[in-house]
Amino acid sequence: MNQLDSAAVFAAVFVTLYVGHSVGDHWVQSSCQAATKGLPGWTGRLACARHVVGLTVTKGVVLTPAVLLLHLPVTTLGLVLGLGVDALSHYWADRRTTLKRLADRCGRAEFYSLGTPTHAGHPVTAKGAYAPTIGTGAYALDQSWHTLCLFIAALLIAVV
């Protein structure tokens, strides 16, 4: 496969994984998994593992027709490596304390708390109570981490 073909496979795989990620992370993940995957102990670990299994299956379901219909020359090893690295990185980030620790070490603690009551500039109602927002710094950092890992996964799938 030449460089242009590899680039095209990478682009198709990345877009497909991104769609699968969005669907799996927001539509397939249960409310229970979302609420408990960051808890300490086995309750959190198992909830996070169930979420990652559902997410990875979703990515596989979305990727299958793209590979077959577009005749993408991917290998089983590339798929296993790419989806495996992505699943492990997703589990790592979604345990929450790990990503928070990384944000703290990178000097992003204030951004991580953006949009939550713990942030100094949190949004308030006219009466001064906390006003929930549709998005937080933690969510933005979480999703950007996942996008980086999708990039790595797509590279692995395209070139291995």
pLDDT score recorded for residue 18? 98
**For the chain, which residues make up each domain, given as ranges?**
3-159
Residue carrying the six token digits 């070139």: 159
Output the six-digit token pair for 23.
């669907």
β-sheet bridge partners, residue 130: 124
Q: Which residue has the higher pLDDT, 122 or 144?
A: 144
What is the pTM (predicted TM-score) of this model?
0.88
For the chain, the residue count is 160
Contact yes or no for 99/145 (Cβ under 8 A): yes
Rounded Cα distance, 156 and 151, in Å: 9
Q: What is the pLDDT of residues 87-115, one digit of tens each?
A: 999 999 999 999 999 999 999 988 888 77
- What distance in Å separates the CA atoms of residue 77 and residue 132, rounded to the nearest whole number? 44
